[in-house]
Chain A
Amino acid sequence: MSRRLGVRIRPLLALCLGLGLCLVVCDAPLRAAGGSAATVSAENLKAAFLLNFMRFTDWPPATNGEFSVLGVVGDRSLEDAIFALADSQTVHERRLRVVRVRSVRDAIECHLVFFGSSSTSIGDPTPATAEILAALAGRPVLTVGDEPGFLALGGMVNLYREGEKLRFEIAPDAVGAGGLVMSSRLLALARIARKPVVAQP
Chain B
Amino acid sequence: MTYIAMDQPRSSGSIALSFIGRWSNADPARPGSGSRRHALGLALVTAASFFASARLTADSPGDLAGMPLEELMEMPVEFVSGVSKYEQSIRHAPAGVTVFTAGDIQDYGWRTLADALRAAPGFHVRNDRFYEYAGNRGFTRSYDYNFRTLILVDGHRINDPVYQQGSIGTEFILDPDLIDRIEIIRGPGSSIYGSNAFDGAINVIPKKGRDLAGGQASVAVGSEPSVKARVSAGDRAAGGLEYTVSATDWWSRGEREFDLPQSWRDAAPGIFDDLEAKDHDDTHHQSVFGHAAWRGFETEIAYVKREKDVLPPVYDTTPDAAARGVDERAYALLRGVGEPLPDAELSATISLDFYNYDGLFHPLSTNFEPQRAYSASTSINTEIRWRQTLAERHTLIAGIERQDNLRQDIGRDNAATGERVVRVRENSAYASPFIQVDWELAPRLILSTGVRYDYYSESDQSLTPRFGLIWDCTSATTVKLLYGESFRAPTIEERFASEAGVMANPDVNPEKNRSIELVAEPRLNDVWRLDGHFYHIASSDLITTVLTNANPLDPDEITYDNGRDVVTDGFDLGAAAYFKGGLRLRASGTLKQSEEEATGILVADAPRQLFKFNASTPLLHPCLRASGELQYVGDRRDFTGGQVDSYVVANFTLRATRLWDDWDLSLSVYNVADTTWSEPKNEGQITAPPRSVVLRATYNF
Contacts and interface: CB of A to CB of B under 8 A. Distances in A.
B67 A32 contact: yes
Contact of B45 (A13, A51, A87): A13
B46 A42 contact: no
B582 A34 contact: yes
Contact of A118 (B440, B573, B618): B440
Contact of B70 (A27, A80, A189): A189
B71 A85 contact: no
A147 B440 CA distance: 19
Interface stretch (B10-18, B76-84, B449-457, B533-541): B76-84
B523 A41 contact: yes
A124 B387 CA distance: 13
Contacts of B593: 5
A12 B35 contact: no
A5 B79 contact: no
A118 B342 contact: no
Given A2-B27, A24-B53, A76-B444, 5 more contacts: A1-B34, A17-B49, A27-B57, A36-B74, A119-B88
A182 interface: no
A8 interface: yes
Given A1-B35, A27-B528, A120-B440, A39 B75 contact: yes
Contact of A123 (B62, B87, B343, B608): B343
Nearest to A33: B578
Nearest to A124: B342
A162 B76 CA distance: 10
24 contacts: A8-B608, A12-B589, A16-B49, A20-B53, A23-B53, A27-B524, A31-B526, A32-B62, A32-B580, A35-B581, A36-B75, A37-B107, A39-B77, A41-B77, A41-B89, A84-B59, A118-B393, A118-B440, A119-B92, A120-B393, A121-B390, A121-B395, A165-B75, A165-B77
B393 A44 contact: no
Contacts, number: 254
B66 A13 contact: no
Interface in A71-121: 74, 76-77, 80-81, 84-85, 87-89, 117-121
A35 B579 contact: yes
A164 B79 contact: yes
A52 B72 contact: yes
B78 A42 contact: yes
B191 to A, nearest CB: 17
Contacts of A181: none
A120 B443 contact: no
3 closest Cβ pairs, A-B complex: A38-B578, A32-B63, A80-B475
B69 A186 contact: yes
B64 A47 contact: yes
B26 A39 contact: no
B240 interface: no
Interface string B383-404: 0000001101111000000000
Contact of B581 (A21, A34, A77): A34
A121 B526 contact: no
A123 B528 contact: no
B505 interface: no
B181 interface: yes
Nearest to A83: B475
Interface stretch (B97-105, B545-553, B556-564, B665-673): B97-105
B392 A126 contact: yes
Interface string B581-595: 111100001010100
B582 A35 contact: yes
Instruction: Indicate the member of A41, A74, A89, A122 with the most B CB atoms within 10 Å.
Output: A41
Given A49-B72, A123-B342, A189-B69, A118 B392 contact: yes
B438 A120 contact: yes
A117 B608 CA distance: 43
B76 to A, nearest CB: 4
A177 interface: no
Interface string A2-29: 1011101100110111011101100100
A88 B89 contact: no
A139 interface: no
A134 interface: no
Contacts of A23: 53, 57, 524, 528, 530, 575
B61 A85 contact: yes
A192 interface: no
Instruction: Indicate the member of B45, B46, B73, B472 with the most A CB atoms within 10 Å.
Output: B73
Contacts of B580: 31-34
B25 interface: yes
Contacts of A39: 75-78, 99, 578
Given A80-B475, A162-B210, A120 B45 contact: no
Contact of A20 (B70, B208, B394, B530): B530
Contact of B589 (A16, A85, A87): A16
Nearest to B601: A1
A24 B75 contact: no
Contacts of A81: 62, 475
A122 B53 contact: no
B343 A38 contact: no
Interface in A35-67: 35-45, 47-49, 51-52, 56
Contacts of A20: 49-50, 53, 530
B56 interface: yes
A117 B584 contact: no
Nearest to A55: B69
B528 A166 contact: no
B39 A9 contact: yes
B226 interface: no
Contacts of A195: none
B575 A19 contact: yes
Nearest to B392: A118
A47 B440 contact: no
A79 to B, nearest CB: 9
Contact of A45 (B75, B523, B525, B577): B75
Nearest to B86: A122
Contacts of A30: 525, 527-528, 577, 579
B74 A51 contact: no
A49 B70 CA distance: 10
B579 A87 contact: no
Instruction: Indicate the member of B70, B79, B526 with the most A CB atoms within 10 Å.
Output: B526
A126 B389 CA distance: 11
A55 to B, nearest CB: 9
Nearest to B526: A32
A121 B78 contact: no
B73 A189 contact: yes
B157 interface: no
